[in-house]
A and B are shown apart, each in its own frame.
Chain A
């Protein structure tokens, strides 16, 4: 992996590799808690805190964690931080705790956190890992906030709890509306990313947002189809 600036590690999570909209990780909390903007911020901040701490600890311990049991070790570390965050939220922001409900302890199994541990923190030094966690957390929070604002505005006619529209379109705060908004945001992110990057496809992995961190280096499926294509061309 080429050396990249620390600034890049931070910013990539916000736009280019946004965990929700580009990597499509952490979909479950995204859909579940974004019925209002406040919930979205609460979830985003809680997950960001866990993400930064777990990334830091995992990257500090990366030489001591045996490769074969790394996933249980990661989960244990993450669960520890989630418990701390949950206790803090319960003590200082009980309203958020009530509205997030089960999804707060479920941060333990949030794909973004385990994904960053596996893809980044397990292979990189502490400082880049913290920045990576911070960037990913900000990206996660931003995506959640976008969805939360859109869904709250149309679904309950309010912004951050302030009633501003007399009518509300109920479907936006119901699960199907969540999927629709999610799909539209992904569409928008794809559009923006392709326009900004203007990438030319050269290798099969170029289209895959996880290519840089992919452990196999070549994607079996795409390689096979590429092979087939060349055979057909022959």
Chain B
């Protein structure tokens, strides 16, 4: 056997894209938001992020071991989940509550449905909603941010997020720089946008979902009479549109599917913000659209090359 013939089935070209590389890119893209969180809310955010990431990785390892499957912590997806979950929490949340969230995300939503690629909704989002429903007061306990307009008043007072604040309290600049209260990762719009641009340049996400999501949300805000720019910059919509809605597992693969998915997210977000009794609707709308993804994909299967659609009257 001197001639070395490699016999293998297609594909023969491989890019060096791997799950690990993609997840690493997402982590890098989330770094600006994490750093901004540490600056705005102090080092407590770093502790929160560390707790969430460590718990998620540990739980992923343990649950894979218990289920007698291969260990998958090397693909970094648990790190991303932990990081995203931490960025979705208020800074002074009890670490035990955060760890319970990690349990929901990794064990219940991800591993019980078969691990990475099998979860039917975004784990971090589902965990956030479970926490929101279970511990409403702890999850809506907002601490004033560094440099926020009303921060000078009292130490450790709670303060309103931009979505429930009186109009005029926060300027656009405040929102862009994160001088407002909210979950630790959602406040600084600039950092999130930077991360989004990095992901698009690295081709990790396609810009369709964030763009359509934000455009729909802006349009809907106009229709229901809210300030579109204010709506886009406040709350978790940027974090949701860039990092949550674009999750590979829980968003459609087809182009038009992506458009429908993002459109639905945008419409629902603003409807929930404007008419429900909750201030924020991003997580619920993405979760709902996550569940609809299989239907959307079935409806938008692209035409196979060369396939001619049968006419209705034609015989079988």
Query: Which A positions have Cβ atoms within 8 angstroms of B?
Result: 169-172, 174, 176, 180, 187
Q: Are A171 and B108 in contact (CB under 8 A)?
A: no
Residue from A171, A176, A187 whose CB has the most chain B CB atoms within 10 Å: A171
Chain B min CB distance to A179 (Å): 11
Q: Are B136 and A170 in contact (CB under 8 A)?
A: yes
Top 5 A-B pairs ranked by shortest CB distance?
A171-B134, A170-B134, A169-B134, A171-B133, A171-B130
Q: Are B108 and A169 in contact (CB under 8 A)?
A: no
B133 cross-chain contacts in A, Cβ below 8 A: 170-171, 174, 176
A-B contact pairs, 5 of them (CB 8 A): A169-B100, A169-B135, A171-B134, A172-B134, A176-B130
Interface of chain B, main secondary structure: helix
Question: How many residue pairs between the two chains, A and B, have CB atoms under 8 Å in the bound complex?
Answer: 16
A170 to chain B: closest residue by CB:
B134
Interface size in chain B (residues, C-beta < 8 A): 8
Query: Which B positions have Cβ atoms within 8 angstroms of A?
Result: 100, 108, 112, 130, 133-136
Residue from B100, B135, B136 whose CB has the most chain A CB atoms within 10 Å: B135
Q: How far is the CA of A169 from the CA of B136 in the complex (A)?
A: 10
Residue from B100, B130, B134, B135 whose CB has the most chain A CB atoms within 10 Å: B134
B100 to chain A: closest residue by CB:
A169
B100 cross-chain contacts in A, Cβ below 8 A: 169
Chain B min CB distance to A185 (Å): 13
A171 cross-chain contacts in B, Cβ below 8 A: 130, 133-134
A174 cross-chain contacts in B, Cβ below 8 A: 133
Chain A min CB distance to B67 (Å): 11
B130 to chain A: closest residue by CB:
A171
Q: How far is the CA of A33 from the CA of B199 in the complex (A)?
A: 48
Chain B min CB distance to A117 (Å): 35
A187 cross-chain contacts in B, Cβ below 8 A: 112
Chain B min CB distance to A167 (Å): 8
Chain B min CB distance to A57 (Å): 43
Q: Are A170 and B108 in contact (CB under 8 A)?
A: no
B136 to chain A: closest residue by CB:
A170
A172 cross-chain contacts in B, Cβ below 8 A: 134
B131 to chain A: closest residue by CB:
A171
Q: How far is the CA of A176 from the CA of B130 in the complex (A)?
A: 9
Q: How far is the CA of A170 from the CA of B137 in the complex (A)?
A: 11
A176 to chain B: closest residue by CB:
B133
B130 cross-chain contacts in A, Cβ below 8 A: 171, 176
Chain A min CB distance to B105 (Å): 13
A154 to chain B: closest residue by CB:
B134
Q: Are B135 and A180 in contact (CB under 8 A)?
A: no
Q: How far is the CA of A104 from the CA of B183 in the complex (A)?
A: 44
Q: How far is the CA of A169 from the CA of B130 in the complex (A)?
A: 9
Q: How far is the CA of A172 from the CA of B100 in the complex (A)?
A: 13
